Structure 1
C-alpha cells in the first residue's frame, strides 16, 4: 500500500540524514526497469575500467569514480567487483553527493575474517568522503551539509589482480558531475481542493527517465514532508502493469500500462490521473502520455488546473504616485485595493491572486488586511516584532513574531482567528516566511542551530482553513544573515542574504542544490516574478533579474509588493 510505503520512506530519510556511512539497502523504486523502456537521455560519461596491476587504493578510487557510468546498470563499476559479488551490489540503493577534493582513504589493513572465496589475501580499506547531500531510495534530495561519511571496502586478489568483494550499496558522485548523471523530475500531485498541481521534485538516473517518473507517481507515495498537503488521483489498487514505458510517435508520447483495476474508475478520476501523469512526464521532456490497460487505451483527457503565474509587471508603491503595477513609467492601480493600501502607510504588501484582498504590515508594525472595497481592518496591532505577513489562497492572513517564532496566528476571512503553535521549537529567530502560491507549502528563512537555514513545510487544512504546519524540510544552510525570501514559481525560492561581502540572492529549488547571485547594491526586500527575482534596495531602487545580472527598473520604490497569482 502507498501509505505503508510512506512510513518506510520516513524511516529511510531519518537514517540518511543521520548516518555516517552509505546506506546499504533499499532500491530507488519497486520493480525492475527494462533496459529498453525509453531513451530520453544518452549518457556521455564513460568511466575507466580497472587497470592491470592497480593497487587496492586505486581499485577503490576507480570504483567510486565509475559511479558516473550508468550504462548497462553500472557495468563498468561492477568490473571492479569480484564475479560473485558483482550481481549482489545495488548501485541505486542510495546516492551520496560529495566533494571530490576531500576524498581520502585510510591505509589498507588485513581483513580479520577473510572471505571464503579468497585465493591469496584479503584486506580492508575505509574511504572517507564529505557528503553534501544524499538522494534517498525514492529519489528525494536530502542535504547533508558536509557530513563525514566512512565507506568500508574489502578486497581480495583474483588472478593476481585486486577486486572488491564487499562494498556499501549505492554510488558516490561528486557534486559537479551529479547533474550530468541524474536528472530532476517534478512528480505532480494536486492540492486538496483539486485546483492546483504541486511539484514533488525527485532525482533519477537519466536513462529510463520516463519509466522512473511513471513508477514514482503511480506506485509510490508523495514525499513524506509534502504528503499532508497534497492529493493523488491514483488509487492504491491501481499500479503499473508493466515497468516498461515505451516512447511512441517519434518519442513524444509515453505509453503507461496500468493494472486492470483502472477499468472500474470513473471519468473524473481517470482525467485527474491523466493530468498528473502528463504534467509529471512533461517535466522530463515527454510531451504526451497515454494510459492503457493491456492494449486498450483508457481515453482519459486532462482536466484544467489553475496556474500560479503572476503579472509580469512589478507590484510596487512609489512615493507620491501610489500603489499598483509598474507599467512602463506609470502606476496601474488595482481597483479599490490600491486606495486601501495607500491609506495604511504600508511597509510590506502581499496581494491575493484575485486582487480582492492583501496582507499588509504597516509602518507601526501592525498586521492588517486590505480589501478591494477600499477598506481595511487591523488584525494584530499589539504583538511586538512582527515580520511581513503572508496571505494564502483562501485570503487567510498569516502572522508571526520575529523573536518568538514558535507560533503563527491565522486570520481567515470568515470565522475566528486561530493559532498554530509549537511548530519549530529549534528556531530562535524568524527572518521571513511566505505561503506558496498554491497554498500547500510554507517557506521560512530562520535562525536555527546557530545558523541561517531555509525551510519548507506542508500546510494541512480543514475545509480550507489551515490547521497545522508539518515537519520542515531543510533546503539550505548558510553563515550569512537572513533578510527576506520569496517564492519565484511553484518549485523555486529566492532568498535574500547579507554578509560582510554584501547582499546575495540564493536561488534555491525545493529539492536540489542552490546557486548564489551577487547583488551590487544593498537589498532589503525580495519578490518573485515568473521564475525571476525582483529586489528593492535600501535607496529605493527596483532591481530586476536578467540572467546573472541586475537591471534597474525604477527609483523611489517605497514598497515592493508580492503577488500570489492572477485573477481567473
Structure 2
C-alpha cells in the first residue's frame, strides 16, 4: 500500500484500511470492523504536505488506535493544542463513525491560512471522565475542528488542528472494540445490626492497555475503584479506602501469582485503615476483580508503604455479600388460576410440583392477581384480583386473613395497584396508579402505615411497575408517558433513621432508550436487568440491560411470543421465567431454549 494511502489511516493489524479521499461528499470515517475485539490499531503521523481533509481524517482514525498517550494523535494538532488536549475527559459515542464535511470558508485568501471542518453524527451515549456510561436517546451531534497552517521543525508550513474538543469521539463499533464494561464495588449503608451490602458501580475501561496510563485492564479497574464511586451512585454508597489512597507509583499490571494471590500495592494513605476497614477494602477489590482476571483470584493481599496490611480469601468473602435472602436456593412463586399463591420448591429449577403457600395467600377467600415475596421468603405480599387491595401475610405459618395494608381508590383496575416488590432491607414497595393521585409507597418491614416516596424527576410520567434491586439502592421503573412506556432507573436515597426515616427516588435515568415500549422488567443478579420491550416499529424482544442502562447485541435472548411478565433471580444460574399469553409460564435455562413450565397461572416471581 502506498504511503499516501496510509495517510490519515491508522495501521490496523488483522483489519483492512482503505485510502482516504481528499475531495467529495460527506463521509463517515470507519476505523475498524465491528466486533473484532482483538484488533490492534497503530496510529500513523501525517505525511508532509497533507491537505486539511487528510489531517481531519487522520486525527479521527488515530483516536481509535492504541497509540501510547495518543502521541501520534497529537501530531495532527498544533503544538499548543496538542499539549492542551485531554483525551481522558470523556468519550462521545456515535451510532456510526463521525461524518466530516467542509471546508466552511469559501473565501480563497482566508482558506489559504485557516479552515474549519464539522464533525456530525447521531450521539447514542456519553462516557464521562469517571468512565461512567450513560445511554442517550439518539441526538444530533455537531462539533467543529478549526485548522491553521503551522511552521514545522523543517520550517515548512503544514496544516494542523488548533481548536479541538477534549475527549474522544468514537463510533459504536470502535467503542465496543476498545472498551469493556466492568463493575467496581462499594458499600451501601445498612440498618443497624446487619452487614453493609456491596453495590455494583458499572464503568467502562480500556480492553487492553490504556493509552494514557499504560495500565492493563485489571489495573485500570482498581484505579477507578480507588478514585471513588461515580457521581450518580456517590450519595448512597461509601468506599472503605482512606481518602487519597492510590496505587503505588509505577504499578501498571495486576495479576494473581501461581498461588492465585493478587497483591495490590497501595500508597501510604492506605496505612491509616484499621484491620476491619482493611478487610472491607480487600472485599471491594476481590469483588471488583473476580470476573475480570483470566485466572481465578483466590485471595487479595493489600500492601501499604511498609508491607502487607491484610488479606481476604474468596472463601471468606461471603460475609460481605450483604444478602438478606434465606441462604438457600430461591423458590419460585406464582398465582394459580383460582387466585391462590403457590410455591415451586427451590432446587427444582422450575420443574417441581407446586404447592399452595401456608396462610391466607395460599388458601384464603380473596383471589389474588400478583405476588411479591420477601428475600428471606418469610413474608408474601399479594394484590387482589381487582388490583384494589394489597395484603401481607406470613409464608411459613398458617393464619387468618388480615385487613389490606394498602387500598387504591381508582375506578379502573388498570389504574390501581402495581405488583409489589421487596428490597434487600426487607421493605415492601408498591405503586398506586390512581390518575387523581398516583403514588409510590413503601412499607417498612412490610407493615405499618405506608410512606409516600417522592420521585422528583418523574414529571408527567406514571409508574406502571417497579422492581427493587437486592442492594436496596436502585429501583427500576416502568414509566408511561404519552403513547410510550419506558424503563427508568432511580437512586434510592434514605434520610434519617427509624420512625423518622424518609426515602426518595432521585436522578431518574432512562435505560435502553432505544426501547420505546417496555412491557416487563426484572433485576437479574447484582448489576443487570432483563427487559421485555420493542424498538420503534419493531417486534417484541427479551434482552439484558446493564445497571447503567447500556445494552449490547450479545444481550438479546432467544425470542418468545407475547411475554407479559418476566422474572429473574439474583443467582444468574437459575432459569429466567416469563408469563406468556399463549404458552403459559415458560422458562429459559442457561444454554437452553424456552420450555413451558405451567399452562395455567401467572405472575411468577423469585423472592424480591
TM (normalized to structure 2)? 0.76
Distance 1:211 1:317, change over 3 A: same
1:476 deviates by: 2.4
Secondary structure class of the residue paired with 2:478? strand
Q: How does 1:473-492 map to 2 (within 5 A)?
A: 473-478=509-514, 480-492=516-528
1:229 aligns with one of 226, 236, 248: 236
Matched, 1:150 2:153: no
Q: Distance in 1 between matches of 2:219 and 2:206?
A: 11
1:297 deviates by: 0.9
1:139 deviates by: 0.5
Structure 1 gap segments, 5+ residues each: 1-40
Deviates more, 1:482-491 or 1:529-538: 529-538
1:381 aligns with one of 390, 394, 407: 407
Which structure is larger by alpha-carbon Rg, 1 or 2? 2
Q: How does 1:394-413 map to 2 (within 5 A)?
A: 394-402=425-433, 404=435, 407-413=439-445
Secondary structure class of the residue paired with 1:439? coil
Q: 1:225, 1:457 within 8 Å by CA — same for their partners in 2?
A: no
Which residue matches 1:299? 310
Which residue matches 2:579? 536
Q: 1:96, 1:172 within 8 Å by CA — same for their partners in 2?
A: yes
2:96 aligns with one of 100, 123, 127: 100
1:179 deviates by: 1.9
Q: How many aligned positions are there?
A: 519
Which residue matches 1:183? 180
Identify the structure with bigger relative contact order (alpha carbons < 8 Å, sequence gap 6+): 1
Distance 1:526 1:249, change over 3 A: closer
Secondary structure class of the residue paired with 1:211? helix
Distance 1:264 1:140, change over 3 A: closer
1:122 deviates by: 2.0
Which residue matches 2:122? 130
TM (normalized to structure 1)? 0.81
Q: 1:324, 1:333 within 8 Å by CA — same for their partners in 2?
A: yes
Which residue matches 1:172? 169
Which residue matches 1:347? 369
Q: Distance in 1 between matches of 2:128 and 2:351?
A: 49
Q: 1:191, 1:231 within 8 Å by CA — same for their partners in 2?
A: yes
Matched, 1:459 2:492: yes
Matched, 1:210 2:218: yes
Which residue matches 1:555? 598
Which residue matches 2:334? 316
Secondary structure class of the residue paired with 1:97? strand
Distance 1:504 1:356, change over 3 A: same
Secondary structure class of the residue paired with 1:212? helix
Distance 1:130 1:258, change over 3 A: same
1:467 deviates by: 1.8
1:197 deviates by: 1.3
Q: How does 1:231-250 map to 2 (within 5 A)?
A: 231-236=238-243, 238-242=245-249, 244-247=251-254, 249-250=256-257
Which residue matches 2:3? none
Q: 2:241, 2:281 within 8 Å by CA — same for their partners in 1?
A: yes
Distance 1:42 1:478, change over 3 A: closer
Deviates more, 1:489-498 or 1:459-468: 459-468
Secondary structure class of the residue paired with 2:380? strand
Taking only aligned residues, the RMSD between alpha carbons, in angstroms, comes to: 3.4
Q: Distance in 2 between matches of 1:332 and 1:547?
A: 22
* 1:62-118 residue CA offsets vs partner (Å, 9 max, x unmatched): 32232221331223422322345333322111101102266242334279999xxx9
* 1:494-520 residue CA offsets vs partner (Å, 9 max, x unmatched): 122257654322421112532544634
Q: 1:437, 1:564 within 8 Å by CA — same for their partners in 2?
A: no
Which residue matches 2:13? none
Q: Distance in 2 between matches of 1:467 and 1:325?
A: 34
Structure 2 gap segments, 5+ residues each: 1-36, 210-214, 411-415
Q: 1:442, 1:458 within 8 Å by CA — same for their partners in 2?
A: yes
Secondary structure class of the residue paired with 1:73? helix
Q: Distance in 2 between matches of 1:368 and 1:429?
A: 23
Distance 1:113 1:305, change over 3 A: farther
2:565 aligns with one of 501, 507, 525: 525
Which residue matches 2:16? none
Distance 1:335 1:392, change over 3 A: same
Q: Distance in 2 between matches of 1:485 and 1:333?
A: 26
Secondary structure class of the residue paired with 1:298? strand
1:341 deviates by: 3.6
Matched, 1:163 2:189: no
Which residue matches 1:392? 423
Which residue matches 1:497? 533
Which residue matches 1:71? 67
Deviates more, 1:43-52 or 1:227-236: 43-52
